[in-house]
Amino acid sequence: MILFTNETKEFELVGIGCGPSNLSVASLLHNKPEITNIFFDQKPSFAWHDGMMLKNTSLQVSMFKDLVTLADPTNKFSFVSYLHHHGRLLQFLNSKFDQISRLEFADYLKWAAENNSNVCFNESVNSIDFNGEHFIINTSRRRVLGKHVVIGAGITPYVPQFVSDQLDCDTNFHIHEFAKRQRNFDGKKVVVVGGGQSGAEAVLELLNRTGNNAPREIIWLSRRENFFPIDDSPFTNDFFTPLIRTISLNKIQISVIVFLNAMYLLVTVSQSIHYEIFTNVFTSCDILSVLLCV
Ligand SMILES: Cc1cc2nc3c(=O)[nH]c(=O)nc-3n(C[C@H](O)[C@H](O)[C@H](O)COP(=O)(O)OP(=O)(O)OC[C@H]3O[C@@H](n4cnc5c(N)ncnc54)[C@H](O)[C@@H]3O)c2cc1C
């Protein structure tokens, strides 16, 4: 239903997209009624990379790097508050998880989105104009005015041009569609292209398949010289603190980050998944070959 009216509501801040980035802004603004705000997302309801939500995947960062805690530890949309709300805080502590499951974190994000009335789903932003004083935001359901606009529209999956016209849903597909439907790899030779976190998760998922569902052979391709894990050490993590981010405008800091990137030290693959793949191959099956760019 289109809700266009002559009365155009004005907000201090309008958010476009409501994935984790803008949901964080929305959560931080929730207890600040003086900053009127509204956020729009085109999806029917909150979803965090559903097509890549493979079994047993976990969050790559600390649970304290949730939507709000680092900026506002008393905010009601913290991960701890989510656990408390569901009566699971003590059990969570007793479980002593090394890592938080991505499914659990996705549920937390969904809970935060559903409990914030300033977040609207099923509403796509179609255009933005500026009249010299306000942004004019046209959605699929209405027009609003905003003094500030925060764009958190995410990124689109990268598909190299030379394969873009050969991708279909059954045999050649991008990882963002992997979990969306059951695929039968029975006795097939499967090639996984990409040595990052998503490629590693796909390889592990394939290795864990058994019986009729298992592929005959897996080839894992990477242009890197090795399967490098994320550097999660304190000094590297320190590059991402807000203080460093302001200093990083300084050329020296930027060149250090460029250097770390070139050394693959800021890649995102968690070490645990490398161990899991390696021990899986070592203990049970011999179907994985890897091709590295050396
Ligand atoms: C599988 C996967 C796992 C990840 N795991 C981690 C992790 O463990 N730790 C970590 O730190 N990072 C992780 N990341 C990286 C990063 O945190 C996520 O990609 C995160 O989702 C980025 O959030 P975002 O809000 O910027 O973008 P997105 O999540 O892509 O959200 C963008 C939103 O904007 C909406 N949108 C776009 N255009 C419009 C429009 N015109 N109108 C209305 N809505 C619109 C989309 O519907 C979407 O909901 C992961 C990424 C992936 C792909």
Within 62-138, residue ranges assigned H as helices are 79-85, 89-95, 102-114
Which pLDDT does position 254 carry in this prediction? 60
DSSP letter string, 224-277: SSS-PPP---HHHHHTTSHHHHHHTTSHHHHHHHHHHHHTTTT----HHHHHHH
Give CA separation, 55 vs 50, 103, 194, 206, 220, in Å.
Answer: 11, 8, 19, 11, 19
| Cα 35–chain centre separation | 27
**What's the token pair of residue 11?**
């907000």
- 270 in Cβ contact with 229 (< 8 Å): yes
CA atoms within 13 A on the CB side of 210: 2
Tens digit of pLDDT per residue, the chain (294 long)? 445 555 689 999 999 999 999 999 999 999 999 999 999 999 999 999 998 998 888 888 888 999 999 999 999 999 999 999 999 999 999 998 888 999 999 999 999 999 999 999 999 999 999 999 999 999 999 999 999 999 999 998 888 888 888 887 678 889 988 888 778 888 899 999 999 889 999 999 999 998 888 999 999 999 888 888 877 777 777 666 665 444 455 555 666 666 666 655 555 667 777 778 877 777 766 677 766 665
Q: Which letter, b or e, does each residue of 221-237 get, where b requires 16 or more Cβ atoms within 10 Å of its Cβ?
A: ebeeeebbbbbeeeeee
Which pLDDT does position 163 carry in this prediction? 86
Residue ID of nearest Cα to ligand 1 atom 37: 153
Please work out whether the CB of residue 276 comes within 6 Å of at least one atom of ligand 1.
no
Residue ID of nearest Cα to ligand 1 atom 17: 20
Please work out whether the CB of residue 73 comes within 6 Å of at least one atom of ligand 1.
no
Please work out whether the CB of residue 152 comes within 6 Å of at least one atom of ligand 1.
yes
Mutating to test ligand 1, I would choose from 60, 62, 122 the residue with most ligand atoms within 8 A of its C-beta, which is: 60
Please work out whether the CB of residue 40 comes within 6 Å of at least one atom of ligand 1.
yes
